[in-house]
Amino acid sequence: MCNHIETTMKKWFEETASRINEEINSDTPVDNLLSGIVPVANNYCKAVFILANANHNLPAMAILRILGELALRTIWCIYKDNPSKESHEIRILRWLKTTNAEEIKHLNKILPSAEPEQAKDIQQTINYLRNEIDKNPHPPIGPFYNSLDELPPVYKKDIYPIIYGAFNYAIHPNLKLFGDLVRQDGKQRTFLPDLDVDIQALKIYSIAIAFSILIIVRAYYEWDYKGMKSEYLDIKKELAAKKN
């Protein structure tokens, strides 16, 4: 079943990428977003399977958390019934403004300790990014979690906890996680390198996020996705039957 999940997901990405290359000749912000997200998401999803197969569960979960954020950000950009009635292009420009502002914050942190020549390059980059921000008339997105308020309630209430919040500790290991990895037997303590989780569940999360991202792309370009949806539902049914 796991091989079937991986093979099906691989086919979805390859078919979508091929169609983009054959049919999309325009160069709009939306085209750049959607043509970029397909190979990047494909790469990350493949990594989840590779890591899960090697029992590297926490790194696989970290990638799932990244994929979850990527999916929700893309949905935020493409959701046409947003409260402000903003176009896809404006939403993408708002994301870009947030990206540039975050990069400036990072560069300002490392600037004071940089060597003179490196500091010069960093300052030039900061100046360029500031200029890009000044040219962008749209407000930044703001905090990621708050931006979910501009999507249907199900995204913040149900989807966020499943594909983002549940894997947050894999990105930010903390003392609670370390405590979960300790096993006590009398005076003997054993430190486990990884969590004991359902590997198949990680792969299912991966294909669910892949499905979500590819549906966005296909729906935007008005491409038929009934076959992909049918395959996805068949996989879910088969997995549910195995659990029962």
What residues does each domain of the chain span?
Answer: 2-79+152-243, 88-150
Question: What's the pTM value of the predicted model, to 2 decimals?
Answer: 0.89
Q: How far apart are CA 59 and CA 27, in angstroms?
A: 35
CB neighbour list of residue 120: distance below 8 Å, 6 or more residues apart: none
- Rounded CA-CA distance 214/89 in Å is 19
Tokens of 139: 């407000």
Reading the chain (244 residues) residue by residue, the pLDDT tens digits are 567 888 999 999 999 999 999 999 998 999 999 999 999 999 999 999 999 999 999 999 999 999 999 999 999 999 989 998 999 999 999 999 999 999 999 999 999 999 999 999 999 999 999 999 999 999 999 888 999 999 999 999 998 988 777 898 899 888 888 888 888 777 778 888 888 888 888 988 999 999 999 999 999 999 999 999 999 999 888 776 666 5
Cα separation of 68 and 70, whole Å?
A: 5
CA atoms within 13 A on the CB side of 95: 21
* Chain position carrying tokens 């309630």: 153
